[in-house]
């Protein structure tokens, strides 16, 4: 199943701390950038989370950004680990954890972490990009975001 040009999928995420879990339809009206990440992933910590922060900083209220911590392999991290690590990274976007065995990660056909899903303002998935290479994945993602918010 190809997820591009499909409606945004329902997700199965849990709160980390006390933040209420949003419904996936809450984000219609402006683009949504979903970042699937894992604390044990160096590309996530070193490049993806800073890039997501940059998108929030640069585009402010023109885009929504949502982080989903997905563990498809490797050690488990506690909510306290997630909160303290993301606080130390000055995370500017809401983040949640995937339910079950990376249920939402698999529903969105993520290839690994970091994995990005860009949803347009109408709730259609328009990009699904794996990786954090600044000259490939992040460059393509940056172009797609700028194109989408300029519409």
Given this model, what pLDDT does residue 4 score?
64
Q: Is 30 left (phi over 0), alpha (psi -120 to 50) or beta?
A: beta
pLDDT at 3 over 80: no
pLDDT at 127 over 80: yes
pLDDT tier for residue 5 given thresholds of 50, 70 and 90: low
What domains lie within the chain, and their CATH numbers?
13-149 (3.40.30.10)
Better-scored residue on pLDDT, 80 or 4: 80
Given this model, what pLDDT does residue 24 score?
86
Cα–Cα distance, 97 to 31 (Å, whole number): 21
With the C-alpha atoms ordered 54, 38, 117, 111, is the resulting torsion angle positive or negative? positive
């Amino acid at each position: 199943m190809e997820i591009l040009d499909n409606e945004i999928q329902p997700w199965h995420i849990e709160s980390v701390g006390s933040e209420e879990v949003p419904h996936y339809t809450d984000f219609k009206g402006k683009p949504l950038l979903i970042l699937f990440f894992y604390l044990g992933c160096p590309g996530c910590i070193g490049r993806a989370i800073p890039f997501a922060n940059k998108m929030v900083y640069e585009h402010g209220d023109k885009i929504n950004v949502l982080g989903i911590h997905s563990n498809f392999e490797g050690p488990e991290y506690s909510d306290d680990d997630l909160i303290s690590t993301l606080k130390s990274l000055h995370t500017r976007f809401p983040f949640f954890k995937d339910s079950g065995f990376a249920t939402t990660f698999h529903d969105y056909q993520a290839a690994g972490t970091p994995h990005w899903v860009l949803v347009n303002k109408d709730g259609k998935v328009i990009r699904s990009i794996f990786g954090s290479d600044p000259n490939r994945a992040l460059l393509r993602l940056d172009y797609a975001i700028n194109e989408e918010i300029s519409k």
